[in-house]
């Protein structure tokens, strides 16, 4: 960590590019959360919608607080509860000049019906239950297909809207790498996105970047078991990535296990700067410039 800067050093200006400020976790001390962020040099915060209701709250916060901007979208794990048409309500929300991008959207196969079935299964299967189990597996595969299809439809709708509105996209991907990339390749360079909370390999990061997208790093880079992600963050060129908290999740060390908040963007930046052997001001300048361009924020 760079100890040469005071918490309020005016030379440091960071942007938390992925926060969930509309979550109830921040309801009791919201103004204090913003104050601590400012004290840590986090001058602007991008609050991310995960559903239509969450996106509305994000826009309301952005309209109320000068240093908060909204991203509106439907998270893949909310796809099943969303209507068939998410473009129309999102288009209406996007009329606010405080909307900086579309998302977070993408694909998430981490909790498919088949995954849940595997987790719930016991080691013992009696012989007379084998046929029923086989039939159950067929049903689960059908349900998997329906979930994947709905997620893909909602993802594609949001990509279409982003192109229509000339906005970039915040992408969520979990256990669905190949399918996510396949959909994005269909759009070519019509749309640019950022793979938030990136935890993949250097090769995957390079693949994303070669397609015209960015990656973003969270507090995982500070974890003892975050060596690989930290090395990826250290190896990319400045301008190819941004920093975020994904708060209230993934609090960095030394706060791991507690509620995360935007002020901790500084700890993410310091960890990456240390791994790169540069001062945190240099990393802050680069990631802030990248975020300003991506989200089209006024300097």
Q: pLDDT tens for residues 277-295? A: 999 999 999 999 999 999 9
Which CATH number do you get for residue 114?
Answer: 3.20.20.140
7 located within any domain: no
| Average pLDDT across the chain, whole number | 92
Does residue 254 have a cis bond before it (omega within 30 degrees)? yes
pLDDT digits over 55-76, tens only?
999 999 999 999 999 999 999 9
3 located within any domain: no
Classify 42 as helix, strand or coil: strand
pLDDT digits over 221-275, tens only?
999 999 999 999 999 999 999 999 999 999 999 999 999 999 999 999 999 999 9
Classify 254 as helix, strand or coil: coil
In the predicted model, is pLDDT for residue 119 greater than 80?
no
In the predicted model, is pLDDT for residue 123 greater than 80?
no
Separation CA 173–CA 191 (nearest Å): 17
6 located within any domain: no
Tell me how many domains the chain contains. 1
Check: CB of residue 32 under 8 Å from CB of residue 259: no
Q: Which residues pair with 170 in a beta bridge?
A: 194
Alpha carbon of 30 to those of 15, 21, 36, 63, 133: distances in Å?
17, 8, 10, 15, 49
189 located within any domain: yes
44 located within any domain: yes
pLDDT of residue 118: 58
Separation CA 116–CA 149 (nearest Å): 18
Using CB atoms within 10 A of its CB, is residue 27 exposed (0-12), middle (13-18) or buried (19+)? exposed
Cα torsion 159, 162, 168, 172: sign: negative
pLDDT digits over 46-56, tens only?
999 999 999 99
Separation CA 226–CA 210 (nearest Å): 24
pLDDT digits over 2-27, tens only?
433 344 445 799 999 999 999 999 99
In DSSP notation, 99-162 reads EEEEEEEEEE-TT-HHHHHHHH--S---GGGHHHHHHHHHHHHHHHHHHHHHHHHHHHHHHHHH
8 located within any domain: no
pLDDT of residue 299: 61
Beta strands in 143-234 (DSSP E): 169-174, 193-195, 214-217
Classify 229 as helix, strand or coil: helix
Check: CB of residue 47 under 8 Å from CB of residue 75: no
Alpha carbon of 221 to those of 11, 42, 154, 281: distances in Å?
23, 18, 30, 18
pTM for the whole structure: 0.91
State the DSSP code for 215: E
Full residue range of the structural domain in which residue 176 is found? 14-295
251 located within any domain: yes
pLDDT of residue 189: 95
111 located within any domain: yes
Of 179, 157, 148, nearest to 72 by C-alpha is 157
């Amino acid at each position: 960590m760079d100890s040469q800067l005071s918490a309020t050093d005016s030379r440091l200006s960071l942007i938390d590019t992925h926060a969930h400020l509309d979550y109830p976790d921040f309801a009791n001390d919201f103004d204090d959360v913003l104050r601590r962020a400012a004290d840590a040099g986090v001058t602007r915060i991008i609050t991310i919608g995960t559903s239509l209701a969450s996106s509305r709250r994000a826009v309301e916060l952005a309209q109320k607080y000068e240093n908060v901007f909204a991203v509106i979208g439907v998270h893949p794990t909310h796809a099943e509860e969303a209507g068939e048409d998410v473009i129309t309500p999102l288009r209406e929300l996007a009329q606010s000049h405080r909307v900086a991008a579309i998302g977070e959207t993408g694909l998430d196969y981490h909790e498919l019906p088949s995954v849940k079935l595997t987790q719930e299964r016991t080691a013992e299967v009696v012989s007379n239950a084998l046929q029923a189990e086989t039939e159950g597996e067929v049903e689960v595969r059908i349900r998997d297909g329906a979930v994947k299809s709905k997620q893909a439809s909602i993802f594609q709708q949001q990509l279409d809207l982003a192109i229509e509105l000339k906005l970039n996209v915040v992408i969520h991907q979990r256990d669905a790498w190949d399918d996510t990339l396949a959909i994005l390749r269909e759009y070519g360079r019509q749309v640019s996105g950022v793979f938030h909370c990136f935890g993949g390999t250097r090769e995957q990061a390079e693949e994303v970047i070669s397609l015209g997208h960015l990656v973003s790093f969270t507090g995982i880079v500070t974890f003892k078991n975050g060596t690989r992600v930290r090395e990826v963050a250290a190896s990319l060129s400045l301008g190819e990535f941004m920093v975020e908290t994904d708060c209230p999740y993934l609090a960095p060390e030394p706060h791991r296990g507690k509620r995360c908040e935007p002020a901790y963007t500084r700890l993410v930046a310091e960890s990456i700067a240390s791994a790169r052997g540069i001062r945190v001001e240099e990393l802050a300048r680069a990631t802030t410039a990248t975020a300003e361009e991506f989200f089209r924020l006024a300097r």
